[in-house]
A and B are shown apart, each in its own frame.
Chain A
Amino acid sequence: MTALTIDNLHKTYRNGFEALKGISLKVQAGDFFALLGPNGAGKSTAISIIASLVNKSSGSISIYGHDLSEDREAAKRLIGLVPQEFNFNMWEPVVEILVNQAGYYGIPRKLAFERAEIYLKQLDLWEKRGTQARWLSGGMKRRLMIARALVHQPRLLILDEPTAGVDIEIRRSMWRFLQEINAKGTTIILTTHYLEEAESLCRNIAIIDHGKIIEQTSMPRLLSQLNTETFVLNLGNPLEAVPDLASYRVKLQDTETLEVEITREQSMNDLFDRLSQLGITVTSMRNKQNRLEQLFIDLVDRSKREAP
């Protein structure tokens, strides 16, 4: 079943700026989907239209088969949104924010309190339930928005840069939480600027630029498009000069760090054979750049070159 269908969606703002130029997109139920794009590409506009925060110019959207214009209330009940900016009443206690949100979905107050307790506990906010939201840290505010988006138990959860400005420990705990709710059946659409986040969490991806979808595929298929990868090798013995590794492009970062570019046709085994022959010991290695990041930059650069 399709969780989200977007068909030929256009948005032109009053100042004449065309934010979306006819995007079409399908997200399957149960998917963990990445919607990526540079700043100003149209991601947040698309999400805001899905969430009914911005009026579309034309096109159609349906959520689990319910058209957002024709069958508005049924479609809206299925969506949960974690927006980019904090958008709750800073003067309200944490638990009230969740209970009120549940009330807007017709959830009785007693059940709303029970749900609030579940999600606040899962997101480590239960101790702060009576605290006014303005006193929470940035990471807590982000988690509060996730709890609020889940309180009516939506089937489609949209997260617009949920981990922006959050430290790595909290970010990882948020990733685990999102993977858990996805495993239980919630479809998730994620936008993020942390591409390693998208690579490790998402199974399918769309890249949007200048208001158009420039790529939509599965994550493994996209990553397989990568022609070259650059690895950073930490050496056991220092080198004075760049070693001769035949067809490999090599750069010495410093005497103990070597940078090697490998194409799809070349193999790691062959590289290590050559390094061994030269008596070079490798103690550890890592990708110089996240693989998705490298592809993302290539695709967006290509889109810019092709733009009129």
Chain B
Amino acid sequence: MKPWGLYAIALRTIVTKEILRFMRIWVQTILPPAITTTLYFVIFGKLIGERIGEMEGYSYIDFIVPGLILMSVIQNSYANVVSSFFSTKLQHYIEELLISPVPNWVILGGYVVGGVARGTLVGVVVTVISLFFTDLQINSYSLTLLVFVLTSVLFALAGFINAVYATTFDDISIVPTFVLTPLTYLGGVFYSINLLPSFWQDVSLINPVLYMVNAFRFGILGVSDIEIAVALGIILGFIGLLTLFSLMLLARGVGIKN
């Protein structure tokens, strides 16, 4: 019989440790996305946005709010796990977990929930800030929440894989800078792909972030460039793949065991 009580306590320990970690350094983890997003709202939403006019039937600031919220969730879920798990490896206190009877899925679950916790907190902060600039009307609370959480889980898993392979601090900044940021900016946060020529619309469809941003926007505004069922299927598919891959890495001890 599995010791579920042990697993639950171990999971709570990792999650509590992760939350305490990012709360202890809130000036580095919570404050910067709040300031950056406020600047986006002021510059793109108000100053430039008022000259752009409507997009998909909504004022420009209303159109970009869902994307900006999700962008902060993506970046922070990823950043939390990649930096925390890499530090765990670097200072060797991953050994505290490896020697203990905690199964790999609990280790992975703990770090992912920690990433989701930071993504959620930052997402909520950004949402509250957005209320100073726009009246946020939620089209579907359940879909909004579902996409919010699933996207956060997906990028927490991606951050975990990045940390497993990382051997230097450069390795944990290369992917966010050269992969994550371009995918997010080109993922329909600031525009509808209907504005693009058909070739670039097709190219945009290979960007997974596009599906998340559009599903989240549909949850809030009720408009999307993408079929929602397809978007959810793609998000869940990626979560499944990355979970299996992460567990395989842990089982083989890649990057953490000799």
Contact = CB atoms under 8 A, between A and B. Distances in A.
A54 B258 CA distance: 5
Contacts of A89: 87-88, 91, 93
Contacts of B93: 87-89
Given A87-B92, A105-B6, A55 B101 contact: no
Interface stretch (B7-15, B75-83, B139-147, B160-168): B7-15
A100 B13 contact: yes
Contacts of B257: 53-55
Interface string B35-47: 0000000000000
Contacts of B91: 87-90
Contact of A73 (B9, B13, B101): B101
B100 A108 contact: no
Contacts of B102: 104
Given A72-B101, A77-B101, A90-B91, A106 B3 contact: yes
Contacts of B16: 103
B253 interface: yes
A86 B10 CA distance: 22
Range of interface residues on A (Cβ < 8 Å): 35 or more
Q: Is the interface of A mostly helix, strand, loop or mixed?
A: loop
A152 B96 CA distance: 12
Interface residues of B, number: 30
Q: Is the interface of B mostly helix, strand, loop or mixed?
A: helix
Nearest to B11: A103
Given A76-B101, A103-B10, A13 B258 contact: yes
A100 B12 contact: no
Interface in B91-133: 91-93, 95-103
Nearest to A105: B100
B5 interface: yes
Given A76-B99, A85-B92, A88-B96, A55 B253 contact: yes
Given A73-B101, A73-B103, A87-B91, A103 B9 contact: yes
A278 B19 CA distance: 79
B13 A104 contact: yes
A223 interface: no
A54 to B, nearest CB: 5
Q: Report the 6 A-B pairs with minimum CB-CB distance, sorted nearest first.
A: A103-B13, A106-B6, A104-B100, A87-B92, A73-B101, A76-B101
Given A87-B91, A100-B17, A101-B96, 9 more contacts: A53-B95, A54-B257, A55-B258, A101-B100, A103-B12, A104-B102, A106-B6, A106-B101, A109-B9
